[in-house]
A and B are shown apart, each in its own frame.
Chain A
Amino acid sequence: MKQSLYPMLLAALLIAACSPTTEAPPAKAQSVADTGGSARGDFGPPQGEPVHAVLTSPPQVPPATGRSAPAKVIVELEVRELELEISEGVRYTFWTFGGTVPGSFIRVRQGDTVEFHLKNHPDSKMPHNIDLHGVTGPGGGAASSFTAPGHESQFTFKALNHGLFVYHCATAPVGMHIANGMYGLILVEPPEGLPKVDHEYYVMQGDFYTVGKYREKGLQAFDMQKAIDENPTYVLFNGSEGALINDKALRANTGETVRLFVGNGGPNLVSSFHVIGEIFDKVWYEGGTHYQENVQTTLIPSGGAMMAEFHVEVPGSYVLVDHSIFRAFNKGALAILKVDGPENKTIYSGKEVDSVYLGDKAASLTPVSTAREAAISGTLTLEQQIAAGKAHFTGTCSVCHQDSGLGIPGVFPPLAKSDFLAKDPEAAIKYVLNGLTGKITVNGKEYDSVMPPMSQLNNDEIANILTYVFNSWGNQLGQVSTEQVAKVRGETPRAEGAAH
């Protein structure tokens, strides 16, 4: 159906472009291209017997509705306040829709009439309600569902827009109710349903704020100030660090297609959702009607969702992360999709070579170790020093002074046949250790630039570098010993970390 739209749209555009005198109906073309939104989402009164919605706990997703006509769907969702594990050995009092974080997954079809029952368990301390982003009407159901502990509220709405929608508690203080885990997803299927896939999974990100530090053991209290500062202690998929790892990992086999329904409850952070080692074949960004193809990372706003499909070819563990990556490795935003099946070396070889790589230093660092051994045994020669010094000079000093020692005229002074250097060769030790800033004149040219201190180099290295400089490019300024460098270093105090 979707594909047939394009020729029609194209035709409309051609008419508009080629025959300006023809009455082109751009408005009509537009209405063909879009879904018509809520104005075209009412398929009439519900038909047949009322249906009880199948609700699932994450990461499971209810089966497709399989309906071709609007139905009356009864949803019964219970609010529970529960103390659960947020991380190993760390407990937190969650407020939940259906006993889990995120709450139960709800699946209906566009045009369905949903009779919603919100039950607040008698043991609850707080009143709660629900705002479903899939509801058309003030408050999204919040006012109609405000429910005291031990009570039940009922309201009814018609699902006019299809898409993947967040629901959440909207009782004051809203941020705290959401931060305690009160959110979930409701899928309103398009009339034709979704294409068949091998696996559907339900993942939802949320940020959590505890008084104790990350992974501090025991029962942790909610920290309002951290929440206001938007500085979460945990960023999690499905409400716990262990929710989707090890034996609870999502599973698929090679050759299968996986569909993820991913929401972001917030309350604060926007997710940069990414699966390490996979590329989303399709992303229905923002949970809407259209998809983007071949996506690496997709944004999921707080209070938003997205749907993604991808085909898995290579077995192994794929890591779901919020690619705001410190959240993944330091706040818990990690989940695993484990793919089983035979290796496919033509697509991904696995590791073929494991060898040492030293870049452009690979060959040149040999003289350094030779010089070090010689120094230890007391047989260090001028030639060995020069050779080792050259290796260090390359890649450290040569960036500015150039391999030729000529520097860059007017910017970086030359070392080759430098009268400045020749005037007081020993002062060079000081320049290397402490840097040199300000106006100097070298070979009749004025330079006014900054050489940073290079005190991160050890005494051996500086001695060798300077010995190399003093004996290259026509310079004949002698030799510098480790002891000389040590003496100058000892005389000049400098700030820690002054290197570079």
Chain B
Amino acid sequence: MKGSAGRHGKWLAATLFVALMSMPAVAADYVDVPAGAFQSVLPTADTPLDVSVAALAMRSEPVTNAEFLAFISAHPEWRRDQVPRLFAESRYLEHWPTANSIDAGQARQPVVKVSWFAAQAFCESEQARLPTWHEWEYVAAADATRRDARADPAWRNRILGWYERTSGGDLAQIGGDANAYGVRDLHGLVWEWVDDFNALFISADNRNQGDPDLLKFCGAGALSMQDRDNYAVLMRIAMLSSLKGADVTGNLGFRCVRPATEKSQ
């Protein structure tokens, strides 16, 4: 499948490109997430335990390669051959066959190898922004029926199951089961950028005698965790904290949020 896509990549991509261009912009699906309070696994200096999250609307699925291709077509300054290295490292979108095309098989895969800057620009282009860590964590605490399923070992095991699968093959497509809010693929598909991926952890560090490298050391990160069973979430935090804004990785994508629509407020 992959091989044949590669061989015929050029015309397929071209076809897809034309098809996308000729289509009216498909409005991405945002679902309403009501306001609420919850206990974050990683308290910050300002919000030691309970975190309030305002109502918002979140993309029900991660941004796909096809969507990102449409974005760079409208904003060529974000093409991999045009973007300044300051905003995206050399491996930015390197999995695409060319700077402005994708293989057919990639269309519904989540876009990865995107920098935080590029993700932010994408969200702005649809009048949205990246979620904050707490917003992301709040929505991702849900399972299919409960808004906070984190106490259930099954919730945790599903996350860990993904960690334990080595990557390197093709990414799965978007469209996993929806959680209680109707949001899909928060776990088990890719890591996701959050708006405050670096700032959040610095404030957490300050709480502990100001050691700026708290998360990077033996066990120290665990000290600021409220619940040791949430190490699955800690690993996501550790992943995000290893990054810089221009970095990309093969398992890191994103989704956007918007202010809530009126009916949810």
Taking beta carbons and an 8 Å cutoff, which residues of A are in contact with B? 81-83, 93, 122-127, 129, 131, 138-139, 142-143, 146-151, 170-176, 219, 221-222, 224, 228
Contacts and interface: CB of A to CB of B under 8 A. Distances in A.
Contact of B213 (A139, A147, A222): A139
B91 A174 contact: no
Contact of A139 (B165, B216, B228, B239): B216
B163 A148 contact: no
Interface string B158-170: 0011111111100
B235 interface: yes
Given A82-B166, A93-B165, A126 B235 contact: yes
Contact of A148 (B166, B217, B229, B242): B242
6 contacts: A126-B163, A139-B216, A151-B249, A170-B217, A173-B222, A174-B219
B238 A150 contact: no
Nearest to A146: B216
A171 B164 contact: no
B234 interface: yes
Contact of A171 (B162, B238, B247, B252): B238
A254 B122 CA distance: 70
Q: Which residue, B166, B213, B250, B251, has most C-beta atoms of chain A within 10 A?
A: B166
Interface string B215-252: 11111111000001101001101110111000111111
B218 A126 contact: no
A146 B166 contact: no
B238 A172 contact: yes
B211 to A, nearest CB: 9
Contacts of B238: 126-127, 171-172
A83 B166 contact: yes
A172 B239 CA distance: 9
Nearest to A127: B242
A155 to B, nearest CB: 12
A288 to B, nearest CB: 22
Interface in B23-52: none
B251 A149 contact: yes
Interface residues of B, number: 38
Interface string B119-145: 000000000000000000000000000
A294 to B, nearest CB: 36
Contact of B251 (A125, A131, A221): A125
Contact of A172 (B222, B243, B247): B222
B250 A123 contact: yes
B231 A173 contact: yes
B250 A172 contact: no
A20 B81 CA distance: 83
Given A123-B166, A222-B160, A176 B248 contact: no
B216 A123 contact: no
Contacts of B164: 93, 219, 221-222
B213 A148 contact: no
Contacts of A124: 167
Nearest to B228: A228
Given A122-B91, A127-B239, A147-B242, A174 B218 contact: yes
Contact of B166 (A81, A175, A224): A81
A205 B243 CA distance: 32
Given A127-B239, A142-B217, A170-B217, A150 B166 contact: no
Interface of B: 91, 157, 160-168, 191, 213, 215-222, 228-229, 231, 234-235, 237-239, 241-243, 247-252
A438 to B, nearest CB: 53
A379 B265 CA distance: 102
A93 B164 CA distance: 6
Given A129-B216, A221-B161, A173 B166 contact: no
A129 B215 CA distance: 11
A193 B229 CA distance: 47
Nearest to A143: B213
A376 B249 CA distance: 83
Given A93-B165, A170-B216, A221-B160, 9 more contacts: A82-B166, A93-B164, A124-B167, A125-B166, A126-B239, A151-B247, A172-B221, A172-B237, A221-B161
A176 to B, nearest CB: 7
Contact of B248 (A93, A150, A173): A150
A150 B91 contact: yes
B249 A143 contact: no
A218 to B, nearest CB: 12
Nearest 10 CB-CB pairings of A with B: A127-B242, A172-B221, A123-B168, A143-B213, A148-B242, A149-B249, A173-B231, A146-B216, A143-B216, A93-B164
Contacts of B252: 149
A82 B165 CA distance: 9
A148 B216 CA distance: 12
B161 A172 contact: no
Contacts of B247: 148, 151
A138 to B, nearest CB: 8
Contacts of B163: 125-126
Given A123-B166, A125-B251, A126-B163, A224 B216 contact: no
Nearest to B219: A174
A139 B220 CA distance: 11
A221 B217 CA distance: 25
Contact of B216 (A142, A151, A176, A219): A142
Q: Which residue, A123, A149, A175, A221, has most C-beta atoms of chain B within 10 A?
A: A149
B15 to A, nearest CB: 29
B234 A125 contact: no
B188 to A, nearest CB: 12
A176 B221 CA distance: 13
Contacts of B157: 221
Contacts of B221: 172-173
A472 B196 CA distance: 94
Contacts of A171: 216, 238, 242
A131 B200 CA distance: 25
Nearest to B153: A225
A173 B218 contact: no
Contacts of A123: 166-168, 250
A148 B160 contact: no
B4 to A, nearest CB: 23
A146 to B, nearest CB: 5
B218 A170 contact: yes
A171 B215 CA distance: 7
